[in-house]
């Protein structure tokens, strides 16, 4: 279910072209998918250490927040001597620990799981919400990607049709690459990292992200 939710969520984000907007459903799916995958990954790691966490343990320690959970998984991965011998996986650890867009995405998705998913409903019922609008936060992230290169604004002002043809595929590729790399890192812990003792037998179910090569990360499988 975690893999299915991630696949559906990433596709909803990637397929937006300025028209029909399914991004909010994408945030919902990814929020659940990454939370499930992170908690399952940490569970397998802790099983290997002789611990037996419960949903109550996870809720008390993390709630639905993803960044603290990701950082604890990264710490476990960094402590695995066999894993750290693999340069590709060390690179993925560094990426997940430092990439500003990935970490902002996980912050937004975690907030979505905590209370942001009720933002619109709370506004309708109460006239206000205790959480920031998750779509506005996601759009701010997309704007930051746009701001990286001033050429996007120049193209938008000079030829809006050409800008649209080029910008949305560029945005999709950037977001897909970032999100799929995070998912690939997590499932690789099930076969090569500290979750491998119990995780390897599930490798067939992890295929959607497990076998992605670097040059496949920016595109969705057909």
Distance between CA 159 and CA 150 in Å, rounded?
Answer: 14
Instruction: Delimit the domains of the chain by residue range.
Output: 2-216
| 169: Cα within 13 Å, side-chain hemisphere | 6
pLDDT tens digits along 97-140: 999 999 999 999 999 888 878 778 777 888 887 878 888 999 99
Is pTM beyond 0.85 here? Answer: yes
Distance between CA 60 and CA 42 in Å, rounded?
Answer: 15
Is a pLDDT exceeding 90 seen at residue 93? Answer: yes
pLDDT tens digits along 175-192: 999 999 999 999 999 999
Mean pLDDT of 73-97: 95
pLDDT score, position 66: 97
pLDDT tens digits along 153-171: 999 999 999 999 999 999 9
Residue 53: how many other CB atoms lie within 10 Å: 14
């Amino acid at each position: 279910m975690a893999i299915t939710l991630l696949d559906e969520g990433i596709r909803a984000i990637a397929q937006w072209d300025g028209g029909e907007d399914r991004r909010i459903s994408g945030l919902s799916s990814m929020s659940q998918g990454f939370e499930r995958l992170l908690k399952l990954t940490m569970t397998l790691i802790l099983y290997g250490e002789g611990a037996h966490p419960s949903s109550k343990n996870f809720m008390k320690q993390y709630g639905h927040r993803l960044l603290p959970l990701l950082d604890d998984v990264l710490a476990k991965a960094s402590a695995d001597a066999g894993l750290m011998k693999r340069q590709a996986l060390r690179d993925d650890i560094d990426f997940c620990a430092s990439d500003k867009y990935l970490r902002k995405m996980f912050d937004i998705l975690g907030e979505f799981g905590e209370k942001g998913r009720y933002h619109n409903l709370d506004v309708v019922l109460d006239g206000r919400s205790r959480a920031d609008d998750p779509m506005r936060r996601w759009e701010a992230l997309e704007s930051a990607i746009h701001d990286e290169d001033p050429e996007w604004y120049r193209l938008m002002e000079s030829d809006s049709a050409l800008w649209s043809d080029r910008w949305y595929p560029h945005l999709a590729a950037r977001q897909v690459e970032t999100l799929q790399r995070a998912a690939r890192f997590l499932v690789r812990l099930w076969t090569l990292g500290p979750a491998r003792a119990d995780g390897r037998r599930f490798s067939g179910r992890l295929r959607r992200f497990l076998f992605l090569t670097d040059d496949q990360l920016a595109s969705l499988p057909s």
